[in-house]
Structure 1
Amino acid sequence: MYLLKLLAELATTDTTPLEQSAPRRAALESLGRFSAKTLAAALPLGLAALPTQAGTTTILDSLTLALQLERLQEAFYARALAAPAGFFPADATIRASIVTMQRHQQQHITLLTDAITNSGGTAPARPNYDFTGSRNGTQPAFFASVFSNFDDFLRLAQLLEDAGVRAYKGQVEALISNDFILQTALQMHSTEARHAARIRIIRQKRAAVVKPWPSPADASITVAGKTDIVYSGENALEQSVPGYRPVPFRLLPIGSGANILTQGVPEAFDELLNTAQASTLLGLFTY
């Protein structure tokens, strides 16, 4: 992530142009006409200098990726809620949480579809989903019991929610030129984070070795060469940007006594998924 560099540049940048929000519809109508490279040229010098995601991701591309991820999660929860009686545990609050999450996804889908069409784009057709990972029986399933074993369902739910959080982070740079869209994306990002934490807490109460946030202490739930992309880079002990000093935990200890912190902590920073990584994950469950 380029968080540290962004903060450094903001400290010396006149942010007045960024604080002048365009009207909602006018902002949406302009999204499809500009590439990330074109938008960067219109930004203050410091922000324009930040690296772009391959230099080609448009705001419309980002909205489309977010729509595909929200559709995937909504379809996943819809199928679980349609499972035979007995699939959900006796604790009614757990099923109620899944119902609430699905409704959130539905609202996100409506908003993103509206944003895409108002920008002059066309929302892609809804694909077919296979949450076993077998791509409609064309390859071995790696989540074969996802809708018959509730703990397997929760494992995939955690993977998809954690992936959604990281994917939204990965699109921030492409959205930074439009205040309205950026704010909306960050609001949905925080909702995804709450979903992920809720799923993790449910798993924790069912004796899974997992924290409410991504941690190296979590028992692995990934499939090598498949879903391990969701947590790639999460074990980084420090954050650094080329040309900037890494976060100096070792030089500036935090705390005192037995609680002193003298080294990096992986949980201190969430990592992102870029467009290619998020698209790869989507491809595991769509056909």
Structure 2
Amino acid sequence: MNLQNIISEIEKVDPEVYDKLDTRRNTMKKFADISKKVALASIPLAFGSMFKKAYGQTSTEVNDVLNFALTLEYLEAEFYTNIVGSPGYLTAPAPAQGALTKIKNDENAHVAFLKSVLGAAAVTKPDFDFTGGGGSGTGPLAGYLAIYAVQLAMAQVFEDTGVRAYKGQAPALLGKRVELTAALKIHSVEARHASHIRQMRRGLDAAIPASQKPLKPWITLNYSGVDYPPANTAINMSYAGEEIVSQAGVNIVGIGGNAYIDDKAASESFDEPLTTNEVLAIVAPFFA
């Protein structure tokens, strides 16, 4: 089997092989140059080195991304586990209780899945403080277990943050088809959770700024849709950057002469990622 056939076979398994190595033309040219400079017996070693460089350097990075996702899933899973059956939860109507229980089960399934993928490399579950007190247990959300409206507001912020966090990590998984596909599947479920929680909050009509009613199932500009004074500053961090109205250098407002596409509609049409550091700053108060 010649070189072209070998790479063609690899391309069947990994269509992005040329992106990892270089362009198709440059890959062939570089290997031809190598072939002129080394002995015939050394070509397999050079060939192996080329692929090792392309494929062998990302395992740690991928594990870091998956462990970052796992840590966020630990947080969400424990949050829902804590509120299901709590005094606040018991004041909710039966359909809402069922939805929160379903989301709890989803989050625990995400944890189990990511742990199975990571194996021995999986990080252990940290301790959490859902009062937002950084371990003090006396943070601004100290009464969350007793107040259903606060539970829903917290759930919304966690879910919205999770969606943006997954989006921010996706580029690090490019070229890792299995891991990227799995992450995107979790990402889409998190988005459904966020939308459903928002609709539950709309029906409850509590802890929503008057200017942002009725609450939409999606994010508008950088509006949080939450009005809980003890924690508003921290909550708003999860929505910073969502007010962007340009994509790939194109201003979406009024695009194509459509005057109805205002800044709100433009921002609603696209979701924005959060960086690792931005996410860590948002969730830091919830770690004990």
Q: Normalising by structure 2, what TM-score?
A: 0.72
Deviation at 1:219, TM superposition (A): 3.4
Deviation at 1:105, TM superposition (A): 0.9
Structure 1 distance, partners of 2:279, 2:11, is 28
Gaps of 5+ in 1: 1-15, 23-38, 47-54
Verify: 1:226 aligned to 2:230, yes or no: no
Structure 1 letter corresponding to 2:136: G
Verify: 1:108 aligned to 2:116, yes or no: no
Bigger relative contact order, structure 1 or 2 (CA pairs below 8 A, ≥6 apart):
1
Distance 1:104 1:219, change over 3 A: closer
Counterpart for residue 253 of structure 1: 257
Counterpart for residue 166 of structure 1: 164
Counterpart for residue 269 of structure 2: 268
Cα contact 1:163–1:278 (8 A) shared by 2: yes
Counterpart for residue 42 of structure 1: 20
Q: Indicate the structure with greater helix content.
A: 2
Distance 1:79 1:262, change over 3 A: closer
Q: Percent identity?
A: 28
Cα contact 1:18–1:177 (8 A) shared by 2: no
Structure 2 distance, partners of 1:167, 1:135, is 20
Q: Let me know the Cα RMSD of the aligned residues.
A: 3.1
Cα contact 2:135–2:286 (8 A) shared by 1: no
Q: How many residues are paired up?
A: 236
Structure 2 distance, partners of 1:218, 1:227, is 7
Deviation at 1:214, TM superposition (A): 0.7
Verify: 1:213 aligned to 2:218, yes or no: yes
Structure 2 distance, partners of 1:19, 1:268, is 35
Structure 2 distance, partners of 1:78, 1:233, is 30
Counterpart for residue 92 of structure 1: 94
| CA shift digits 1:20-64 (9 cap, x unpaired) | 259xxxxxxxxxxxxxxxx99725559xxxxxxxx9981111100
Distance 1:262 1:99, change over 3 A: closer
- The structure number with the bigger radius of gyration is 2
Distance 1:40 1:20, change over 3 A: closer
Counterpart for residue 74 of structure 2: 71
Cα contact 2:224–2:239 (8 A) shared by 1: no
